[in-house]
Amino acid sequence: MQTNLLDFIVYVPKNIRKASLNRFSWQSLIFYSLLRIKSINNKTNGKYLNFNSRILKKKYGKEYRKHIDFLLKEKWIEENKKYKNAANGFSKSFRISDLNFQWIHKTHAIKLQKRIWKKFAGKTNEDTSDLTSYYLNLIHRRHNTLFLPTARSIASKRLKVKLDRKLPNLKFGNNGRVYSTIIVSKSTARKGVIFGKFGNLVNIDVTSMIQQLLNKEIQDQKWNSWIKDDFPSQIMKHFDQKLSRTEVKEQFMIAISKKCDFGFAADIRGLLEQDFPLIMNHVDELNERSSVQLETQMQEARIIQDFILKHQFLEVIPAHDGVFCGEKIALEVQDYLEVFLKRNGMAGYTKIKPDNPLLRRRTTVDVLMDLCSD
């Protein structure tokens, strides 16, 4: 590919063959794609969307109208003829045709010159990373070694473009967490990402990070055993309700929030106050200060940053409640992380995601099974 040409992903009806798309100008394809995305995001329910002629001329050139007319001729879009040229007027409006909107769509890459690509790429065109600290510079260098060889889903294609273009977009959030391209991407999109020379990207996740942080100063052994045995499961043992693990986790977060006086979350809070009064007193103190969610997120961010800076020989980057690394060093990173957490007063439980038998520590049962197979 020529270096002055860049891929721009558009959405086109799935039943349109690639050869047929050659009849369409890039202006037509991009206008259709953006109209469709805007219609979905705004939940227009078939209503027309207004487009200022001045903006259309700037994006698509003086002959923008012929590209729109082509879409009208192909019956991909429809036009509302009503408009008003006045100080309090309104511009012409368009919508995806009823037939076309119902079609299944697919992604299609078109080649654009860099100056054209910039018109539509917006924030994805340049790296907006905050590089004012040594920590973010370190992550930036490591993030730029990430790459995605192939991408199939829409989300993974978007991620691939950003990784190929070296756009980590690093910044600190108000909670102290580091946000980056790889962190804000969907977990399904990250499948297949390679971390430099260290193999497939994996996430070493701190198990029940919030629960570990809440017990950091108190050291309640029963609370730690609940973490070890899966905290949501331990909660469900005390109730008859049938909820998913995800739902229980959500209810737990409500239970430790400032205002929790009704529903299943209130029942969970009652259980925790009965069995763990010291921890729940600590929860109330954090809520008085600001909120338990914000306070634990800030603690979490400090813990992860401290771990990375003190273990710079390990090629890792932050992942909110854990770290990302390559699978070739995953078990080594996990060992160092667990030791670090324990030294900082936490229970030290972690897990590797996605689950991979090859990255699971060998247990006594594994050794015995191997002996039996021999």
Instruction: Sketch the domain layout of the chain as residue ranges.
Output: 5-124, 197-374
List CB contacts of 58: < 8 A, sequence separation 6 or more. Answer: 119
List, for residues 97-123, the tens digit of each pLDDT value: 877 777 788 888 888 887 887 777 665
Structure tokens at 134: 């040594």
Burial class (CB in 10 A: 0-12, 13-18, 19+), 311: middle
What one-letter code names the amino acid at 180?
A: S
pLDDT for position 89: 63
List, for residues 188-203, the tens digit of each pLDDT value: 999 999 999 999 999 9
What is residue 62's DSSP assignment? T
List, for residues 264-302, the tens digit of each pLDDT value: 999 999 999 999 999 999 999 999 999 999 999 999 999
pLDDT(330) > 90: yes
List, for residues 227-250, the tens digit of each pLDDT value: 999 999 999 999 887 888 899 999
Strand blocks (E) in the chain: 5-13, 49-50, 77-80, 93-96, 105-113, 146-147, 171-172, 178-179, 194-195, 201-206, 317-318, 322-326, 350-353
pLDDT for position 228: 95
Q: What is the longest distance spanned by two Cα atoms in the chain?
A: 87
Structure tokens at 293: 């969610």
Strand blocks (E) in 127-235: 146-147, 171-172, 178-179, 194-195, 201-206
- pTM reported for the whole predicted model: 0.71
CB 129 within 8 A of CB 172: no
Mean pLDDT of the chain: 88
List, for residues 136-150, the tens digit of each pLDDT value: 999 999 999 999 998
**Backbone phi, then psi, for 350, in 5-degree steps?**
-140, 165
- Whole-number Å distance between alpha carbons of 237 and 67: 63
pLDDT for position 1: 39
List, for residues 9-27, the tens digit of each pLDDT value: 888 888 888 778 889 999 9
pLDDT(163) > 80: yes
Mean pLDDT of 212-237: 95
pLDDT(46) > 80: no
What whole-number percentage of the chain has pLDDT above 90? 58
Residue closest to 42 by CA, chosen among 30, 32, 54, 34? 34
**Backbone phi, then psi, for 268, in 5-degree steps?**
-65, -45
